Amino acid sequence: MTRTHTPPSTGVVGSRVPRVEDARLVTGAGTFVDDVTRPGMAHACFVRSPLPRARIGDIDVSGALELDGVLAVYTAADLNPTAHQISYGLDMIGMPPVPRPPLAEEEVRFVGDPVVLVIAVDRYVAEDAVEQVIIDYEPLDPVVDYITAGESPNLVHAGFAGNSAGEIGGRPASDLAPIFDSAAHVVRQQIFQQAYSPVPMETRGIVAEWSIPTSEMTIWASTQSPFEVRGFTARLLGIDEHQVRVLARDTGGGFGMKVAPLREEACVLLAARALGSAVKWIEDRQENLMSAGMSRHEHASVGMAFDEDGKILAASIEHAQNVGAYPTPSPITGGVPVGMLFPGPYRVTNASFHAKFLYSNTVGRIAYRGPWQFESVAREVLLDHAARRIGIDPIELRRRNILRRDEFPFPNPNGMVYDNASPMETLEQAVEMLDYEAFRAQQRAARAEGRYLGVGTCTYIEPTAGASPFLSTEGATIRIAPTGKVNVFVAGGSAGNSIETTVVQLTADALGADIADVRTVQGDTAVTPFGGGTQGSRSGSMTAGAIAATAAPLRERIIAIAAHRLGVAVDEIEFAASRATVVGNPDKALTLAEIAEIAYLQADALPPGTPPGLEAVGRHKTTQMAIWANATHLCTCEVDIETGEVILLRYIVSEDCGPMINPAVVEGQIYGGTVQGIGGALYENLAYDESGNPVATTFLDYLMPTASEVPRIEVGHVETPSPGPGSFKGVGEGGAIGSTPAILNAVADALSPFGVEISKLPLSPATIVSMLDEARAAGKGPA
């Protein structure tokens, strides 16, 4: 169900256009990295550490080299010195350095750390050869628990005292002490979020082909950002960027994991140059769960002070993150927004935050859809906890504090100015869609029968299309062929976010072309303009700006040519659906194909001063620090107090992403992100045992929600225009931000008769049963 406050668009933008990429994907005609085959292509496989921390002794590769079909075996001593520079476009000036050797040097630092790279004629031979490599390890005491890593005598990386990867803060908590001391109500809580992984359907993959005669590298990559891969490769190899071509065809999901190349990709690139041939590496699922990276592993002590009426006087968060052994990029990049955004979409004028980032002997932290998501988990769980403590309904507590549309712009106390948002409006729409009071009556009746229903909500505000240097600009090239067919070239690729479809829609509308005449070329750094790719909920807004800047002069040229040929003034021409007509005389017309033929093949017939051809390049640069999107998630559930099972009953999202380019795409993004948040709340856990061994390296142990666990997701839409191109906002990350806290609050509400408060994720059946057992032992619960 979709509700909209504005009339639907009459153009292509705003319509539920079917996805143009679906035909090839559903028929198995997509091109993923593993579909790429090159002449003489070799295959890579890694020898990985079985220990979380150990000193690397002798490495015997002779047995591997003796196998038929093995082409090369590389250790750190062979490969690492050939790396020129390892850095990322997302790196920020002033951030602490992060060690990232391609292969492990001197020590292994987590189970799965790549130590040796084997190259063979096929993957089967490479895997056999991996078994023949003998490595002497001297085990060392690992730093497994990031919470105590700062006090550990052991260091994950020498030179990083206290295992600190960095520390940053805003206003100190001591400044707020007088407010907390005098407040009518003070509520504090600790909450721990488990590690989990993006788990894309397609694991990481790369084919790197080095041309010796031209000193050029061609790369087929499963990536969200082809130009990030190009820049990384050029710096890694010490060559110019125009010597690197990156092709990203179809990408089977990324969710942040595939924004930046990791150490394995660096190894493959170095090996391809050393061998002078093509090398393919496709990560298997065990490698993906063990070595591709984790996210979300963090905790915080949070507090809020309220007056007698339940209005927030101050908010504070003391936050710590596990960054693993090799975080990418700098963990501070994604961690700082947790503290800065913690006040959320509420009328908070006093806040403090402090964040610290700690190394451990676990897999490195990477980006994941809404890297700052924990700010909403911590804040929204605390608000429900506070409502129960103060004796106010959680929705009513939010109503007393949440910002309305007419209060923007609003500077949050950490220096971020929110604008063009509608938190109160999305909250009220979600409550109305549920019929909140009717649910509360249903809940009371169920409790009388011994059944425990709950309702939970989360309202958040998020920055989209941010203006960091690497992401602040996006380009587009539009080429109209002499036949009138349109190709639009943009940097992004097909990663499941429907950017192909939205780009076609945007171009058709901006030009006035029939959508059937428009196609797009993406993900090829040799032919597309530079761009930041798919990340940071930026694609819709940034590509809209780039296409608008490119299409405008082309449209003017099209109209000028039509007016000249038809013998009328420019302002008498209407151009739509690839057809130019004279106002008041629609039979006097030219098709886009006829106009294009004039532009290319009849140069003498062009208006004076009009250049031949119909091609243009344009670029958009965002001037905003961020474009603010917001939403409210609201769900209901039933908890079986004997088994701990959580059944989600209804799930509602009221979303404000500005005007929708394609409602079906917007809803698809919300659905996907929401399901990932459900996984984080109830199922997924990238766990380690006390010795530092991963215990969830297959889908038998790493649990994810399936269709049978996910309820129908109902979507409402509230539209607040943004200052960006087309008034569009980002929508890619929001679902994954709001769903986890909404579910946690629903479970806590269901179990509130037992006095249970949420402090640790995920809420597995065993965790819920344990919490209930503790409550009963303490004499809590219904009579």
Q: Do 612 and 631 share a domain, yes or no?
A: no
User: How many CA atoms within 13 Å lie on the side-chain side of 245?
Assistant: 14
Q: Do 642 and 585 share a domain, yes or no?
A: no
Q: Do 435 and 543 share a domain, yes or no?
A: no
The phi and psi torsions of 758 (rounded to 5 degrees) equal: -80, 130
Which of 606, 621, 636 lies at the terminal end of a domain, its last residue?
A: 621
Burial class (CB in 10 A: 0-12, 13-18, 19+), 707: exposed
**Where in the sequence is the domain holding 441, given as residue range(s)?**
402-462+626-783
User: What pLDDT digit, counting tens, does each position of 677-718 carry?
Assistant: 999 999 999 999 999 999 999 999 999 999 999 999 999 999
Rounded average pLDDT over 28-49: 97
- Residue from 213, 257, 256, 206 nearest 236 by CA: 206
Give the integer Cα–Cα distance in Å for 44 and 207: 10
Residues 6 or more apart from 319 whose CB is under 8 A from it?
Answer: 298, 299, 300, 335, 338, 339, 353, 354, 355, 356, 374, 378
For residue 412, is it within any domain? yes
What interhelical angle do 539-566 and 592-601 show, nearest 10?
80
Structure tokens at 375: 């700010």
Residues 6 or more apart from 485 whose CB is under 8 A from it?
Answer: 517, 518, 519
How many domains, the chain?
2
318 pLDDT higher than 50 = yes
Sorting pLDDT into bands at 50, 70 and 90, what band is 91? Answer: confident
Q: Beta partners for 713?
A: 651
3 pLDDT higher than 80 = no
For residue 43, is it within any domain? no
Residue with tokens 């994954």: 736
Phi-psi region of 4 (alpha: psi -120 to 50; beta: other; left: phi over 0): beta
Phi-psi region of 644 (alpha: psi -120 to 50; beta: other; left: phi over 0): left
Percent of the chain surpassing pLDDT 70: 99
- CA dist list (Å): 294 to 97, 322, 324, 732: 20, 9, 8, 20
Q: Which helix (H) or strand (E) holds 553?
A: helix 539-566
Q: Do 772 and 658 share a domain, yes or no?
A: yes
Q: Do 409 and 480 share a domain, yes or no?
A: no
Sorting pLDDT into bands at 50, 70 and 90, what band is 95? Answer: confident
User: What pLDDT digit, counting tens, does each position of 455-469 carry?
Assistant: 999 999 999 997 788
SS3 629: strand
Give the integer Cα–Cα distance in Å for 123 and 126: 5
Neighbours of 604 (CB within 10 A): 6
Residues 6 or more apart from 131 whose CB is under 8 A from it?
Answer: none
Residue with tokens 């005389």: 585
131 pLDDT higher than 90 = yes
Give the integer Cα–Cα distance in Å for 109 and 714: 44
Sorting pLDDT into bands at 50, 70 and 90, what band is 6? Answer: very low
For residue 84, is it within any domain? no
Are 46 and 104 contacting, i.e. CB atoms less than 8 angstroms apart? no
Task: Note the pLDDT of residue 595.
Answer: 98
In SS3 terms, 637-673 reads as EEECCCCCCEEEEEEEEEEECCCCCCHHHHHHHHHHH
In SS3 terms, 107-169 reads as EECCCCCEEEEEEECCHHHHHHHHCCCEEEEEECCCCCCHHHHHHCCCCCCCCCHHHEEEEEE
Beta strand 573-576 pairing with 518-522: unpaired
Q: Do 685 and 782 share a domain, yes or no?
A: yes
One-letter amino acid identity for 525? Answer: T
For residue 262, is it within any domain? no
Are 487 and 478 contacting, i.e. CB atoms less than 8 angstroms apart? yes
Q: Do 502 and 567 share a domain, yes or no?
A: yes
Residues 6 or more apart from 18 whose CB is under 8 A from it?
Answer: 501, 664
Rounded average pLDDT over 415-436: 97
Structure tokens at 248: 């990203």
For residue 166, is it within any domain? no
For residue 523, is it within any domain? yes
User: What pLDDT digit, counting tens, does each position of 321-338 carry?
Assistant: 999 999 998 888 889 999
Q: Do 611 and 639 share a domain, yes or no?
A: no
Give Cα 452 to chain centroid, integer Å: 34
Residues 6 or more apart from 494 whose CB is under 8 A from it?
Answer: 21, 30, 249, 250, 251, 500, 522, 523
Percent of the chain surpassing pLDDT 90: 94
- CA dist list (Å): 381 to 66, 190, 386, 449, 547: 59, 10, 9, 27, 41
Q: Do 710 and 756 share a domain, yes or no?
A: yes
Task: Note the pLDDT of residue 467.
Answer: 73
For residue 723, is it within any domain? yes
> What single string gives the DSSP state of each residue in 38-106?
-TT-EEEEEEE-SSSSEEEEEEE-HHHHTSTTEEEEE-HHHHGGG------TT--TTPPP----SS--S
Rounded average pLDDT over 726-754: 96
Residue with tokens 């507590």: 397
* CATH number of the structural domain spanning residue 555: 3.30.365.10
- Residue from 622, 682, 93, 145 nearest 333 by CA: 93
Residue with tokens 């005007």: 659
- Residue from 102, 89, 21 nearest 523 by CA: 21
Task: Note the pLDDT of residue 333.
Answer: 86
The phi and psi torsions of 82 (rounded to 5 degrees) equal: -85, -5
User: What pLDDT digit, counting tens, does each position of 186-227 carry?
Assistant: 999 999 999 999 999 999 999 999 999 999 999 999 999 999
User: What pLDDT digit, counting tens, does each position of 341-370 carry?
Assistant: 999 999 999 999 999 999 999 999 999 999
One-letter amino acid identity for 321? Answer: Q
Which of 621, 645, 674 lies at the terminal end of a domain, its last residue?
A: 621
For residue 386, is it within any domain? no
Task: Note the pLDDT of residue 321.
Answer: 98
Beta strand 713-717 pairing with 646-656: parallel
511 pLDDT higher than 80 = yes
- CA dist list (Å): 77 to 122, 324, 499, 727: 24, 24, 42, 53
Are 262 and 204 contacting, i.e. CB atoms less than 8 angstroms apart? yes
Across the chain, mean pLDDT equals 96
User: What pLDDT digit, counting tens, does each position of 384-417 carry?
Assistant: 999 999 999 999 999 999 999 999 999 999 999 9
What pTM does this model have? 0.96
User: What pLDDT digit, counting tens, does each position of 613-659 carry?
Assistant: 999 999 999 988 899 999 999 999 999 999 999 999 999 999 999 99
Task: Note the pLDDT of residue 783.
Answer: 62
Give the integer Cα–Cα distance in Å for 533 and 644: 42
Sorting pLDDT into bands at 50, 70 and 90, what band is 493? Answer: confident
Give the integer Cα–Cα distance in Å for 226 and 702: 30
Give the integer Cα–Cα distance in Å for 154 and 71: 38
User: What pLDDT digit, counting tens, does each position of 175-188 carry?
Assistant: 999 999 999 999 99
169 pLDDT higher than 80 = yes
Which of 583, 603, 621 lies at the terminal end of a domain, its last residue?
A: 621
Virtual CA dihedral for 741, 745, 746, 751, nearest 10 degrees?
Answer: 140
Are 47 and 130 contacting, i.e. CB atoms less than 8 angstroms apart? yes
1 pLDDT higher than 50 = no
104-128: buried (b, 16+ CB within 10 Å) or exposed (e) per residue? beebbbbbbbbbbbbbbeebebbeb
7 pLDDT higher than 70 = no
The Cα angle at residue 279 between residues 99 and 362, in degrees rounded to 5: 30
Q: Do 589 and 636 share a domain, yes or no?
A: no
DSSP type of residue 610: P
Q: Do 682 and 752 share a domain, yes or no?
A: yes
Task: Give the residue, 496 or 314, on which the prediction is more confident.
Answer: 314
SS3 226: helix
Q: Do 633 and 742 share a domain, yes or no?
A: yes
Residues 6 or more apart from 51 whose CB is under 8 A from it?
Answer: 108, 111, 137, 139, 142, 692
